[in-house]
Amino acid sequence: MATIAGSRPAVCQDGLTSLELMIALAIAAVLLCIGAPSMMVMVQAQRLTVTVNDFLAAIHLARAEAVRRGERVDLVPADGSDWSAGWTIFVNRSGNRMPGAEDALVFRGPPLPTRLRIASTFTDAAHPYLAFAANGRTRTDASVQQPQAGSISFALDGRIRKIKLNFQGRARICDPAAEPATC
Protein backbone atom coordinates (compact mmCIF):
# COMPACT_ATOMS: atom_id res chain seq x y z
CA MET A 1 0.00 0.00 0.00
CA ALA A 2 1.45 3.31 -1.01
CA THR A 3 1.25 6.30 1.30
CA ILE A 4 1.80 9.95 0.76
CA ALA A 5 4.78 11.36 2.58
CA GLY A 6 3.83 12.47 6.07
CA SER A 7 0.46 10.74 6.14
CA ARG A 8 -0.54 7.59 7.92
CA PRO A 9 -2.17 4.59 6.28
CA ALA A 10 -5.93 4.29 6.84
CA VAL A 11 -6.73 2.16 9.88
CA CYS A 12 -9.52 -0.37 9.46
CA GLN A 13 -11.78 -0.42 12.52
CA ASP A 14 -13.78 -3.59 13.15
CA GLY A 15 -16.46 -3.98 15.85
CA LEU A 16 -19.58 -2.30 17.12
CA THR A 17 -20.11 0.94 18.91
CA SER A 18 -22.03 0.95 22.18
CA LEU A 19 -25.07 2.46 20.45
CA GLU A 20 -25.12 -0.22 17.74
CA LEU A 21 -24.80 -2.94 20.39
CA MET A 22 -27.68 -1.52 22.46
CA ILE A 23 -29.93 -1.30 19.40
CA ALA A 24 -29.14 -4.91 18.43
CA LEU A 25 -29.89 -6.10 21.99
CA ALA A 26 -33.17 -4.15 22.05
CA ILE A 27 -34.27 -5.75 18.76
CA ALA A 28 -33.31 -9.20 20.07
CA ALA A 29 -35.29 -8.60 23.30
CA VAL A 30 -38.40 -7.54 21.37
CA LEU A 31 -38.19 -10.62 19.11
CA LEU A 32 -37.71 -12.85 22.16
CA CYS A 33 -40.77 -11.38 23.88
CA ILE A 34 -42.85 -11.97 20.76
CA GLY A 35 -41.60 -15.54 20.24
CA ALA A 36 -41.54 -16.86 23.82
CA PRO A 37 -45.30 -17.42 24.27
CA SER A 38 -45.65 -19.24 20.97
CA MET A 39 -42.61 -21.34 21.89
CA MET A 40 -44.32 -22.40 25.14
CA VAL A 41 -47.47 -23.35 23.21
CA MET A 42 -45.37 -25.46 20.87
CA VAL A 43 -43.54 -27.14 23.78
CA GLN A 44 -46.85 -28.01 25.52
CA ALA A 45 -48.33 -29.38 22.29
CA GLN A 46 -45.23 -31.51 21.79
CA ARG A 47 -45.39 -32.76 25.39
CA LEU A 48 -48.99 -33.87 24.86
CA THR A 49 -48.16 -35.58 21.56
CA VAL A 50 -45.20 -37.46 23.02
CA THR A 51 -47.20 -38.69 26.02
CA VAL A 52 -50.12 -39.89 23.86
CA ASN A 53 -47.72 -41.67 21.49
CA ASP A 54 -45.90 -43.30 24.43
CA PHE A 55 -49.18 -44.59 25.81
CA LEU A 56 -50.27 -45.87 22.40
CA ALA A 57 -46.93 -47.69 22.11
CA ALA A 58 -47.59 -49.25 25.54
CA ILE A 59 -50.98 -50.50 24.34
CA HIS A 60 -49.38 -52.02 21.23
CA LEU A 61 -46.63 -53.61 23.35
CA ALA A 62 -49.13 -55.14 25.79
CA ARG A 63 -51.19 -56.57 22.92
CA ALA A 64 -48.13 -57.94 21.11
CA GLU A 65 -46.80 -59.55 24.30
CA ALA A 66 -50.16 -61.25 24.94
CA VAL A 67 -50.09 -62.77 21.46
CA ARG A 68 -46.39 -63.67 21.61
CA ARG A 69 -46.58 -65.31 25.04
CA GLY A 70 -50.05 -66.80 24.62
CA GLU A 71 -51.08 -65.40 28.02
CA ARG A 72 -53.06 -62.54 29.49
CA VAL A 73 -51.08 -59.29 29.60
CA ASP A 74 -52.30 -56.23 31.51
CA LEU A 75 -51.60 -52.52 31.20
CA VAL A 76 -52.39 -50.83 34.53
CA PRO A 77 -51.63 -47.56 36.33
CA ALA A 78 -48.32 -47.86 38.18
CA ASP A 79 -49.97 -47.09 41.52
CA GLY A 80 -53.10 -49.11 40.76
CA SER A 81 -55.51 -46.19 40.39
CA ASP A 82 -54.03 -43.11 38.70
CA TRP A 83 -52.53 -43.17 35.19
CA SER A 84 -50.63 -39.95 36.03
CA ALA A 85 -48.21 -42.00 38.14
CA GLY A 86 -47.13 -43.92 35.05
CA TRP A 87 -48.11 -47.38 33.85
CA THR A 88 -46.99 -50.96 34.12
CA ILE A 89 -47.27 -53.78 31.59
CA PHE A 90 -47.04 -57.30 33.01
CA VAL A 91 -48.01 -60.90 32.29
CA ASN A 92 -50.93 -61.37 34.66
CA ARG A 93 -50.61 -64.92 35.93
CA SER A 94 -51.94 -64.16 39.40
CA GLY A 95 -55.21 -62.55 38.27
CA ASN A 96 -54.52 -59.44 40.37
CA ARG A 97 -54.49 -55.95 38.94
CA MET A 98 -50.99 -55.32 40.23
CA PRO A 99 -47.88 -57.33 39.33
CA GLY A 100 -46.85 -59.90 41.90
CA ALA A 101 -43.96 -62.31 42.35
CA GLU A 102 -45.39 -64.86 39.88
CA ASP A 103 -46.08 -62.23 37.21
CA ALA A 104 -43.52 -61.25 34.57
CA LEU A 105 -42.88 -57.52 34.34
CA VAL A 106 -42.70 -56.34 30.71
CA PHE A 107 -42.42 -52.54 30.95
CA ARG A 108 -42.84 -49.56 33.28
CA GLY A 109 -43.85 -46.18 31.86
CA PRO A 110 -42.74 -42.92 33.49
CA PRO A 111 -45.01 -40.55 35.42
CA LEU A 112 -46.83 -37.98 33.31
CA PRO A 113 -45.51 -34.44 32.89
CA THR A 114 -46.85 -31.82 35.29
CA ARG A 115 -50.35 -30.48 34.49
CA LEU A 116 -51.06 -33.27 31.99
CA ARG A 117 -54.23 -35.13 32.99
CA ILE A 118 -55.33 -38.57 31.87
CA ALA A 119 -58.67 -40.31 32.35
CA SER A 120 -60.04 -43.58 31.03
CA THR A 121 -63.56 -44.70 30.22
CA PHE A 122 -63.86 -48.43 29.56
CA THR A 123 -66.49 -51.16 29.43
CA ASP A 124 -65.40 -52.33 32.90
CA ALA A 125 -65.13 -48.99 34.69
CA ALA A 126 -64.60 -50.45 38.16
CA HIS A 127 -60.81 -49.97 37.90
CA PRO A 128 -58.55 -48.40 35.28
CA TYR A 129 -56.87 -51.22 33.38
CA LEU A 130 -56.47 -52.80 29.97
CA ALA A 131 -56.16 -56.56 29.66
CA PHE A 132 -55.30 -58.45 26.49
CA ALA A 133 -56.05 -62.13 25.95
CA ALA A 134 -53.75 -64.51 24.10
CA ASN A 135 -55.59 -63.81 20.85
CA GLY A 136 -54.76 -60.08 21.04
CA ARG A 137 -58.27 -58.95 21.90
CA THR A 138 -59.14 -56.96 24.97
CA ARG A 139 -60.91 -58.63 27.84
CA THR A 140 -62.35 -57.69 31.20
CA ASP A 141 -61.58 -59.19 34.58
CA ALA A 142 -65.02 -60.82 34.54
CA SER A 143 -64.60 -62.83 31.33
CA VAL A 144 -62.24 -63.49 28.46
CA GLN A 145 -65.34 -63.28 26.23
CA GLN A 146 -66.31 -59.76 27.33
CA PRO A 147 -64.21 -57.13 25.48
CA GLN A 148 -62.79 -54.07 27.21
CA ALA A 149 -63.43 -51.11 24.88
CA GLY A 150 -63.46 -47.37 25.46
CA SER A 151 -61.13 -44.41 25.42
CA ILE A 152 -58.28 -42.75 27.26
CA SER A 153 -58.30 -38.94 27.28
CA PHE A 154 -55.19 -36.80 27.67
CA ALA A 155 -55.58 -33.08 28.48
CA LEU A 156 -52.96 -30.34 28.77
CA ASP A 157 -53.62 -26.60 28.76
CA GLY A 158 -56.92 -26.86 26.90
CA ARG A 159 -55.70 -29.37 24.32
CA ILE A 160 -57.24 -32.84 24.32
CA ARG A 161 -56.22 -36.03 22.56
CA LYS A 162 -57.87 -39.41 22.89
CA ILE A 163 -56.88 -42.98 22.29
CA LYS A 164 -59.90 -44.98 21.19
CA LEU A 165 -59.82 -48.72 21.77
CA ASN A 166 -62.25 -50.93 19.85
CA PHE A 167 -63.67 -54.34 20.82
CA GLN A 168 -60.92 -56.15 18.92
CA GLY A 169 -58.13 -54.47 20.87
CA ARG A 170 -57.07 -52.04 18.15
CA ALA A 171 -56.19 -48.53 19.24
CA ARG A 172 -56.08 -45.22 17.38
CA ILE A 173 -55.38 -41.60 18.31
CA CYS A 174 -57.97 -38.93 17.60
CA ASP A 175 -58.38 -35.20 18.18
CA PRO A 176 -61.85 -34.25 19.47
CA ALA A 177 -61.45 -30.68 18.18
CA ALA A 178 -60.65 -31.80 14.62
CA GLU A 179 -62.99 -34.80 14.37
CA PRO A 180 -65.80 -34.44 16.94
CA ALA A 181 -68.13 -36.93 15.23
CA THR A 182 -65.73 -39.90 15.38
CA CYS A 183 -63.76 -39.09 18.47
Q: Which domains, and CATH codes, for the chain?
A: 37-174 (3.55.40.10)
| Distance separating alpha carbons of residues 68 and 130, to the nearest angstrom | 17
pLDDT (0 to 100) of residue 58: 97
> What does pTM read for this prediction?
0.79
Read off φ and ψ for residue 143, nearest 5 degrees.
-160, 145
Q: Given the DSSP bridges, would you call strands 171-174 and 159-165 parallel, antiparallel or unpaired?
A: antiparallel
2 pLDDT above the threshold of 60: no
Q: How far apart are CA 176 and CA 31, in angstroms?
A: 33
Task: Note the pLDDT tens digit of each residue in 33-50.
Answer: 776 677 788 888 899 999
Q: Count of CB atoms within 10 A of residue 128's CB? A: 21
Mean pLDDT of 51-71: 96
pLDDT for the residue numbered 1:
52
In whole angstroms, what separates CA 53 from the centre of its chain? 5
Q: How confident is the model at residue 6 (pLDDT cuts 50, 70, 90)?
A: low
Q: Greater confidence, 162 or 29? A: 162
